[in-house]
């Protein structure tokens, strides 16, 4: 686990190892999700980047809506 420090402007620097593993680029937008006191950073993708993401997805054996949480 990498450690970061929050600046006086509430900013953090994403460690280089993490940036490289996630293939982050300068100016890339991130979503922030807070759940249970933990902040998750999620790289946002454009619609063009998401095109075809579910092309080979299998739709059989999906649970019915009534079975979902």
Who's near 29: CB < 8 A, 6+ residues apart?
43, 44
Give the chain's domain count: 1
User: Tens of pLDDT along 18-62?
Assistant: 999 999 999 999 999 999 999 999 988 888 888 888 888 777 766
Q: What pTM did the predictor assign?
A: 0.61
45 within some domain? yes
Residues 42 and 50 sit within 8 Å (Cβ to Cβ): no
Owning domain of residue 50:
27-67
- How far, in Å, CA of 39 to CA of 41, rounded? 7
- Tell whether the torsion through CA atoms of 23, 35, 8 and 45 is positive or negative: positive
60 within some domain? yes
50 within some domain? yes
14 within some domain? no
């Amino acid at each position: 686990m990498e450690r970061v420090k929050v600046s006086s402007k509430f900013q953090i620097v994403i460690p280089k190892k993490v940036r490289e593993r996630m293939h982050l680029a300068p100016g890339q937008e991130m979503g922030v999700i807070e759940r249970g006191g933990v902040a998750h950073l999620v790289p946002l993708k454009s619609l063009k980047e998401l095109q075809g993401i579910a092309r080979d997805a299998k739709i059989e054996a999906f649970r019915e809506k009534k079975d979902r949480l």
